[in-house]
Amino acid sequence: MVKSNLQTILNSHCFVREKERNIPKMPVAEMTPTHFTFLTRVRGLCGVPDAPHPPLKIPGGRGNDQRDHNLSAKLFYSDAQLLVLEESPPLNSRVRFLLFERRCSESKPLIWRGALTGAKLYIEIPPGALPEGSKDSFALLLEFAEEKLQVDHVFICFQKNRDDRASLLRTFSFLGFEIVRPGHSLVPSRPDAFFMAYSIERDSDDD
């Protein structure tokens, strides 16, 4: 389970694990200075590729600034630790845009923006230095993705020219993410972008 594994990982001082895993579904992503555009391709029940999903545009993250909940967002989930809101999706979109925020945190508020499509969750890492407590809030997000959203994969994407790139690689490697290496058949050649993927392995009794 993610919860127990994450507790071990968060208390660990081990270093980056970069073993590449064969991930069956990967995003095709395009990045601009203001947003990331993810195009996901899924296979239908007969194995024939369906039409690509609409672009998943995640607005430029502002999670390390003032609280900026979308006024049109509605409550998706709430408990003592985590608040999840859902933004109004584009017309006829199969993509759900979610905002994740840790409750009862003494650190600076951080909102993670994500796009949910099928059994895949895409998260944009906000620009700028992440505040204290961000690792714990992301751990809650991962636990929610596994237990409530029932996703198979979580993807993150961030700019390679970030000053904290090395720190991000270490942190997300601790959390179980693995680098999506350039040249992967389903990832575009983008020298300015870094992609990492997390695959959720379920116990047989979870099926």
Q: What sign results for the dihedral spanned by CA atoms 177, 121, 118, 180? A: negative
Question: What is the per-residue pLDDT for 177?
Answer: 93
Distance of CA 7 to the CA centre of its chain: 19
The series of mean pLDDT values per 10 residues for the chain, 207 residues long, is 41 34 41 37 30 38 44 88 90 88 80 88 88 89 95 88 91 89 65 86 66
CATH class of 1-13+76-207: alpha beta
CB atoms inside a 10 Å sphere around CB 22: 5
Which of 155, 198, 141, 146 is CA-nearest to residue 28?
Answer: 155
Question: What is the per-residue pLDDT for 207?
Answer: 54
What residue spans define the domains of the chain? 1-13+76-207
Task: Please write the tens of the pLDDT for every residue from 141-179.
Answer: 999 999 999 998 898 888 889 999 999 999 899 888 999
Would you call 118 exposed, middle or buried from its count of C-beta atoms within 10 A (0-12, 13-18, 19+)? middle
> What span, in angstroms and rounded, lies between the C-alpha atoms of 60 and 38?
14
**Distance, first Cα to last Cα, the chain:** 13
Question: What is the per-residue pLDDT for 80?
Answer: 92
Question: What is the per-residue pLDDT for 138?
Answer: 93
Would you call 189 exposed, middle or buried from its count of C-beta atoms within 10 A (0-12, 13-18, 19+)? exposed
